[in-house]
Structure 1
Amino acid sequence: MKDFHPRPHPRNPGSPWTVASGAALAIVTAGAFSTLAGLLVGPLHADLGWSRASVGLGSLVNMVVYGATAPFAAALMDRFGMRRVAVGALCLVGAGAALTTTMTAPWQFVLYWGVLVGLGTGATATTFAATVTERWFVARRGLVTGLLTAASVVGQFVFLPVLSWVIDAYSWRAAATALACAATCALPVVWAAVRDPQKEPGRTEDAAHPAGRTGDNTRPTDRTEATAHPSDRTEDAARRALRTLARAARTGPFWLLAGTFAVCGASTNGVMWTHFAPAAHDHGMPVTVAASLLSLIGIFNVAGTVGSGWLTDRADPRRLLATYYALRGLTLLALPLLLTSAVDTPLVAFTVVFGLLDVATVPPTIALCRAHYGADAPVVFGWVSAAHQVGAGAVAFAGGVARDTFGSYDPVWVGAGALCAGAALLALTLRRPPGPGLTRPAPARPARHAPSARDTA
């Protein structure tokens, strides 16, 4: 009788960098949808006769849904896997853009762009980057977080001049159709590249986690979840997101991180992306030139985010955050003195510095979430990102009120600079979590697939 030899467990066909590349494609594609809404205000007003307030309502709903989706998306990735959530998000943004071309009433813009595109972009936001790095990387988490965050910046700003040209040369419907096609083309690539690490037989999820954590914040490994009905798993994911919020809300670091990230949203999305172009136009600068400066800021965002990720692996994230917010506040305070009808050297210098600081806060914020909340970090960061969108929406609205009241955007820049100064102080009050230092890499988890692929990550 022949001896029985168990079949070796197949190694995971994916590699960390392949997964990160697929995730980057999904993030870039979804990011392109984030800036198109700002280009649609004028065309929709001229073509369909809608008020700017009606168009703004759709953008507001998009921003709120984007922020609220992030924590639940992180929990859904735990239940259904990153691949299904990422592909589903691309389907949502593609469908929302395609349906936008058929609009005849303002409420349809709220539904198609506000809800559908908001859900899709929220599911592929920075929480997606945090989940990818948490599951596939150990030694270079800060660097990979910076790279994936930079991918979002690329999607948001690099394509901005192209989309603007398409709208001017053809129509706003052509730009929306182009984005829908881009999302459709990205689907098979993301499906093939993005996957979760496979678990080896006989090993529990607790042992596989880099921090070796146990408890209800780890993913169940029994067969019950694998065979559970999708609606049950969705409900469990929503409950986990809310339970994680309830636990995190009882801790001081959560509110400090949420507060600083709310200021981050207020001083970037809320004030710069909403009010920079009209403020520059008040000083005689053409809107197209102001939009080009925003695109230049986006280009430097890439270098700033990647560099910040590299620094996060080597320095105290709390001090990095304090430095970023302090410098950002100084640049915003100086902006009213720099705005003129022409682009000169000081304004270009502002563009470069602000671009380097703009998204640099993301890698250290994720690192602090990981240090304080372990396996719950992606979900916690999702709720922190929701605070980011709340801050952005509040200041976007307040900036318009200030312009109507004072006839100038100068109070907006001063107020945003003051908020950044407060965020710098809040970052310094964050306590160092117990255990290993913040900058020390987490213990490497045993390989779930080919050792060479995991070791190099």
Structure 2
Amino acid sequence: MKWTRDSYRWIALAAGFTIILVGYAMRNTFSVFYPVIVSDFGWTRGSTALMYSLTLLVYGLFAPVAGGLADRFQPRYVLAMGGVVVGSGIALCSTPTSVWHFYIIYGIIVAVGTSLIGITPVISVVSHWFGSNRGGLVFGVLGAGFGVSLVTAPMYQWLIATYGWRSAYLMIGLCAIAIIAPVSLLFIRRSPHHIELLRQKDTDTGGSGTTPGLSGRTEEWTVRRAFRTRSFKLFLLIGFCNMGFAQQVTIAHQVYFLQDVGYAPMVAASMFGVFGVAFASGNLSSPLSDRYGRVPFVIAGCLSTAGSVLLLRITPNPDSAIIPLLFAFASGWGLGVVPPACFAAMVDRFHGRNYGSIHGTMILFISLGGAVGPWLGGQLHDISGSYFSVFTLVQAFLIVAAVLIVFATRPASMRITS
């Protein structure tokens, strides 16, 4: 059967959703395995959380490289290789006997694999099937893959309780390889428009350096050119504050916090699963930003999450699930709606044949915030015995992000400086 662009783009989007879901589910194993590993080895929360911070940092540092690889080589091979790397890394997490083993395996190997199958290379392929005017839809669906990946938490907890955490890691890793590699090889393809852009780029680099037929365009974006705008710099700060620090603190420490206040491990993992459902619903709300604008959705997401954190200052009653459910819904939706709306706002301004590298730079700054957050959360808990100081920082960073999006989207912020 011969697929047309209008029909195959949905195949590409579904394949991207599947790769994002399974790939990020590997990294998000940490939230459920974290309490078990601390208990089994007797390490501090800060030193153990460092492996999650390290994987976010390496993921971010490698993201521009992953985006460049997807721009330069056949993306289906890049994504398939990433699936093998991330799955192998998670399977090897069944072997450590020392914390530095986790730093190398989970912190570096899993991070590199996640970058190769992450949002940067996937969006650099899938976005061209839809065009920049459907950015909210594309980022919303792919972001929902990340949200649904969080719903796997109860399954991880069941595997740990049934087979032990080492066997659980092995089974999860092998499943990732079996899913990501075939899906990538069979269904990931560049759009005809994307192929033409890359062919034109090759012609440009082999010629005089100017773009025939495009010499009058003023918006041929590169990472260097984007950095010369105030808008791009503000987007990077938003990524650091919201999608980096606030999101990753919430993901890394949520299950442990609920266990601290008396909830059973399976209940805590189930609440994390609810958080994932709400996160996915936030992602799927973002296509409305194509019609109603990006800024209102980013602000609403920031304020929803900041408000939900106030609930955690009320000591939850382990006999009632009301507070954790309210927190899961409000924070999940809030953290879920911001990334696709924010990324779509970036595509509105910086879309082009180099967008993979531009988006990879955004992921780098998100990962820098994400690297600081989980480690700092663990350290502050080790010092104070409480997460409340971390909650205050999360709220502050969310409010800052809500303010910055207003300035980042002003037309004057797109002015290029020398």
TM-score range (shorter-chain normalised) is: 0.7 to 0.9
Q: 5 Å matches for 1:47-446?
A: 55-138=48-131, 139-155=133-149, 157-186=150-179, 187-198=181-192, 205=197, 219-221=201-203, 244-264=222-242, 265-270=244-249, 272-308=250-286, 310-337=287-314, 339-375=316-352, 376-433=354-411
3-state SS of paired residue (2:320): coil
Alpha-carbon shift at residue 104 of structure 1 (Å) = 4.3
For 1:432 and 1:392, locate their aligned partners in 2 and report how far apart those are by CA, in whole Å: 27
| 1:74-130 C-alpha deviation (Å, 9 max, x unpaired) | 111110032111111101112212333344444332222221111111222222342
Unaligned runs of 5+ in 2: 208-220, 413-418
Alpha-carbon shift at residue 134 of structure 1 (Å) = 2.2
Asked whether the 8 Å contact 1:31–1:153 carries over to 2, the reply is no
For 2:334 and 2:61, locate their aligned partners in 1 and report how far apart those are by CA, in whole Å: 25
CA RMSD of aligned residues (A): 3.1
| 1:276-315 C-alpha deviation (Å, 9 max, x unpaired) | 333334433334322221111101111110111x212112
Identity %: 26
For 2:342 and 2:186, locate their aligned partners in 1 and report how far apart those are by CA, in whole Å: 30
C-alpha distance 102-394 of structure 1, shift in aligned 2 (>3 A): closer
For 2:315 and 2:121, locate their aligned partners in 1 and report how far apart those are by CA, in whole Å: 37
TM-score computed with the length of structure 1 as normaliser: 0.77
Asked whether the 8 Å contact 2:294–2:344 carries over to 1, the reply is yes
| 1:326-372 C-alpha deviation (Å, 9 max, x unpaired) | 22222223431263333343442232122211221112211221122
C-alpha distance 342-244 of structure 1, shift in aligned 2 (>3 A): farther
Which residue identity does 1:220 align to in structure 2? D
Asked whether the 8 Å contact 1:262–1:390 carries over to 2, the reply is yes
C-alpha distance 340-250 of structure 1, shift in aligned 2 (>3 A): farther
C-alpha distance 96-408 of structure 1, shift in aligned 2 (>3 A): closer
More off after superposition, 390-399 vs 186-195: 390-399
Higher helix share: 2
Which residue identity does 1:164 align to in structure 2? Q
C-alpha distance 170-81 of structure 1, shift in aligned 2 (>3 A): same
Alpha-carbon shift at residue 433 of structure 1 (Å) = 4.3
Alpha-carbon shift at residue 71 of structure 1 (Å) = 1.9
3-state SS of paired residue (2:263): coil
For 1:348 and 1:41, locate their aligned partners in 2 and report how far apart those are by CA, in whole Å: 21
More off after superposition, 391-400 vs 414-423: 391-400
Unaligned runs of 5+ in 1: 1-8, 209-217, 226-242, 435-457
Which residue identity does 1:348 align to in structure 2? L
Which residue identity does 2:248 align to in structure 1? N
Select the structure of larger CA radius of gyration.
Answer: 1
TM-score computed with the length of structure 2 as normaliser: 0.84
Asked whether the 8 Å contact 2:235–2:405 carries over to 1, the reply is yes
For 1:63 and 1:43, locate their aligned partners in 2 and report how far apart those are by CA, in whole Å: 20
Which residue identity does 1:188 align to in structure 2? P
Asked whether the 8 Å contact 2:77–2:184 carries over to 1, the reply is no
For 2:47 and 2:141, locate their aligned partners in 1 and report how far apart those are by CA, in whole Å: 36
Asked whether the 8 Å contact 1:32–1:179 carries over to 2, the reply is no
